[in-house]
Amino acid sequence: MIVGIDLGTTHSLVGHYGEEGPQLFRNALGEYLTPSVISVDDEGHMLVGAPARDRLISHPNTSVAAFKRWMGTAREVQLGKRSFRPEELSALVLRSLLADAEAALGEKVQEAVISVPAYFSDAQRKATRAAGELAGIKVERLINEPTAAALAYGLQERKEGSRFLIFDLGGGTFDVSVLEMFEGVVEVHASAGDNYLGGEDFLDVLQTACLADLKLRADDFSPVERGLLRRRLELVKRSLSQQPEVSVEGQIGKHDIVWRIDQDRFLQLAEPLMQRMRMPLERALRDARLRPDQLDEIVLVGGASRMPLVSRLIARMFGKLPLRHVNPDEAIALGACVASGLKSRNAKLDEVILTDVCPYTLGVEVGQRDAQGHVQNGLFSPIIQRNSVVPISRESSYYPLAERQAKLSLKIYQGENPMVDNNIKLGELEITLNPTLPIAKNEVVVRFTYDINGVLQVEATPKASGIRHELMLQQNPGLLSDQEIRARLAALSELKIHPRAKQENIALLARAERLFEEHLSARQVLQQWISHFRQILETQDERVILEHRENFSHALDSLEAQV
Amino acid sequence: MNWAFELLGLRPDADVADVKRAYARLLRITRPDDDPEAFQRLHMAYKIVLAHISAKATAAIMPTPTVVTHAEPTSRPPVQLALPTHADTTNVTEPVVHLGTLTNEIIRAAIEAQNSEELSRWLKNRPEFWSIQIKQQAAQLVLQRLFQQPQAIAAHCMDAMLKFFDLDHVLSGVNPVALQSLRARQRTLWELRPENHHELARRAGLMHNGRPEVLRVRKDLALLQHPLNWARVTLAAMQSKRAHGLAALVRTLSNNGRLDELPASVNRQHAMFWFRGATGGPLLTRERFILHSLRAGVWAFVTMLAVVVIAMMSAAPDGVHWSEVARVAGILGGGILVLWLLIAGFWWFDLWQGMPESTPSRWPWLRRLAIPLLCVLSFAMYETGNAPYMRWLVMMCFIAAMRKFRRRIAGNGSFFARITASTPAFIWISVWIIAALSRAQGMEDFPLIPILALATFAMSIADLWRHRAYLHPRLARN
Q: Which range, A152-156, A510-514, B69-73, is most confident? A: A510-514
Q: Is residue A490 part of a domain?
A: no
Q: Is residue A252 part of a domain?
A: no
Count Cβ atoms below 10 Å from residue A523 Cβ, excluding itself: 13
Q: Establish, for the pair of chains A and B, how many residue pairs have beta carbons separated by less than 8 Å.
A: 114
Do A185 and B23 lie within an 8 Å CB cutoff?
yes
Angstroms from A316 CA to nearest CA on chain B: 6
Question: What is residue A98's three-state secondary structure?
Answer: helix
Nearest CA in chain B to A314: B130
Q: Is residue A472 part of a domain?
A: no
Nearest CA in chain A to B31: A353
Q: Which range, A530-544, B28-42, B290-304, is most confident? A: B290-304
Angstroms from A318 CA to nearest CA on chain B: 7
Q: Is residue A29 part of a domain?
A: yes
* pLDDT cut 90: percent of chain A above it: 29
Do A314 and A461 sit in the same domain of this protein?
A: no
Q: Is the pLDDT of residue B89 over 80?
A: no
CB-based contacts of A314, cutoff 8 Å, min separation 6: A167, A298, A300, A320, A321, A322
Point out which residues pair with A24 in neighbouring strands.
A15
- pLDDT of B444: 59
Q: Is residue A204 part of a domain?
A: no
- pLDDT of B107: 92
State yes or no: ipTM above 0.95: no
Nearest CA in chain B to A282: B132
Q: Which residues of chain A are within 8 Å of residue B177 when distances are taken between CB atoms?
A: 368, 370, 376, 379
Is the alpha carbon torsion for A211, A212, A216, A218 positive or negative? positive
- pLDDT of A197: 92
In terms of Cα–Cα distance, which of B207, B270, B279 is closest to B243?
B279
Where is A114: in which H helix or E strand? strand A111-116
Q: Which range, A289-303, A362-376, B92-106, is most confident? A: A289-303
- pLDDT of B282: 67
Q: Which residues of chain B are within 8 Å of residue A287 when distances are taken between CB atoms?
A: 171
Do A434 and A349 sit in the same domain of this protein?
A: no
- pLDDT of B72: 39
- The average pLDDT across A219-237 equals 87
To probe the interface with A, which of B31, B43, B170 has the most A CB atoms within 10 Å? B170
Q: Which residues of chain A are within 8 Å of residue B268 when distances are taken between CB atoms?
A: none
How far is the C-alpha of A156 from the C-alpha of A327, rounded, in Å? 12
Q: What is the mean pLDDT of chain A?
A: 86
Task: pLDDT band for A36, please (50, 70, 90 cuts).
Answer: very high
Do A322 and A364 sit in the same domain of this protein?
A: no
Q: Is the pLDDT of residue A419 over 80?
A: yes
Do A82 and A148 sit in the same domain of this protein?
A: yes
Domain end call among A357, A375, A405 = A357
Q: Which residues of chain B are within 8 Å of residue A374 when distances are taken between CB atoms?
A: 256-258
Do A335 and A396 sit in the same domain of this protein?
A: no
- The average pLDDT across A419-423 equals 89
Do A393 and B40 lie within an 8 Å CB cutoff?
yes
Higher local confidence (pLDDT), B391 or B126: B126
Which residue range(s) make up the domain with A404?
360-467
Q: Where are the beta strands (DSSP E) in A385-455?
A: 388-389, 392-398, 407-414, 424-432, 444-450
Do A420 and A536 sit in the same domain of this protein?
A: no
Do A152 and A288 sit in the same domain of this protein?
A: yes
- pLDDT of B412: 56
Of A286, A353, A393, nearest to B28 by CB-CB distance is A353
Do B176 and A379 lie within an 8 Å CB cutoff?
yes
- Pairing mode, if any, of strands A444-450 and A456-462? antiparallel
Interface of B with A (CB under 8 A): 17, 20-21, 23-25, 27-28, 31-33, 36-37, 39-40, 43, 73, 124, 130-133, 135-136, 166, 168-171, 176-177, 179-180, 256-260, 357-358, 469-470, 473, 476
Nearest CA in chain A to B176: A418
Nearest CA in chain B to A369: B177
**What's A282's domain CATH number?**
3.30.420.40
- pLDDT of A411: 92
In terms of Cα–Cα distance, which of A38, A87, A13, A21 is closest to A303?
A13
**What's A409's domain CATH number?**
2.60.34.10
Q: Is the pLDDT of residue B75 over 50?
A: no
Do A64 and A116 sit in the same domain of this protein?
A: yes
Listing DSSP states for B19-71 in one string gives HHHHHHHHHHHS-TTT-HHHHHHHHHHHHHHHHHHHHHHHHHHTT-HHHHTTT
Q: Is the pLDDT of residue A365 over 90?
A: yes
- pLDDT of B427: 74
Q: What is the mean pLDDT of chain B?
A: 81
Do A348 and A365 sit in the same domain of this protein?
A: no
Q: Which residues of chain B are within 8 Å of residue A295 when distances are taken between CB atoms?
A: none
Point out which residues pair with A12 in neighbouring strands.
A7, A34
Q: Is the pLDDT of residue A472 over 80?
A: no
Of A316, A372, A382, nearest to B130 by CB-CB distance is A316
Do A176 and A292 sit in the same domain of this protein?
A: yes
Count Cβ atoms below 10 Å from residue A59 Cβ, excluding itself: 22
Starting at the edge strand found earlier in the chain, the sheet holding A392-398 runs: A392-398, A444-450, A456-462, A469-473
Q: Is residue A150 part of a domain?
A: yes
Do A348 and A392 sit in the same domain of this protein?
A: no
Cβ contact A115:A335 at 8 Å: yes
Task: pLDDT band for A478, please (50, 70, 90 cuts).
Answer: low
* pLDDT cut 70: percent of chain B above it: 85
How far is the C-alpha of B87 from the C-alpha of B70, rounded, in Å? 16
Higher local confidence (pLDDT), B227 or B476: B227
Q: What is the pLDDT of residues A194-219, one digit of tens each?
A: 888 999 999 999 999 999 998 888 88
How far is the C-alpha of B410 from the C-alpha of B317, rounded, in Å? 63
How far is the C-alpha of A52 from the C-alpha of A64, rounded, in Å? 8
Do A417 and B170 lie within an 8 Å CB cutoff?
yes
Domain end call among A421, A447, A467 = A467
Q: Which residues of chain B are within 8 Å of residue A403 when distances are taken between CB atoms?
A: 358
Of A161, A283, A390, nearest to B166 by CB-CB distance is A283
Nearest CA in chain B to A434: B476
Q: What is the pLDDT of residues A313-344, one digit of tens each?
A: 898 888 888 887 668 889 999 999 999 988 88
Q: What is the pLDDT of residues B389-430, one digit of tens each?
A: 887 888 888 888 888 877 776 555 566 666 666 667 777 777
Task: pLDDT band for B158, please (50, 70, 90 cuts).
Answer: very high
Task: pLDDT band for B64, please (50, 70, 90 cuts).
Answer: very low
Nearest CA in chain A to B21: A183
Do A34 and A160 sit in the same domain of this protein?
A: yes
Q: Is residue A211 part of a domain?
A: no
Q: Which residues of chain A are within 8 Å of residue B73 when distances are taken between CB atoms?
A: 291
Where is A360: in which H helix or E strand? none
Cβ contact B288:B277 at 8 Å: yes
In terms of Cα–Cα distance, which of B76, B224, B225, B203 is closest to B136?
B76
Structural domain count, chain A? 3
Burial classification of residue A134, based on how many CB atoms lie within 10 Å of its CB (0-12 exposed, 13-18 middle, 19 or more buried): buried
Q: Is the pLDDT of residue B77 over 60?
A: no
Residues counted in chain A: 563
Cβ contact A209:A301 at 8 Å: no
Where is A187: in which H helix or E strand? strand A185-194
Q: What is the pLDDT of residues A57-89, one digit of tens each?
A: 888 888 999 899 888 888 888 888 888 999 999
Q: Is residue A113 part of a domain?
A: yes
Do A275 and B43 lie within an 8 Å CB cutoff?
no
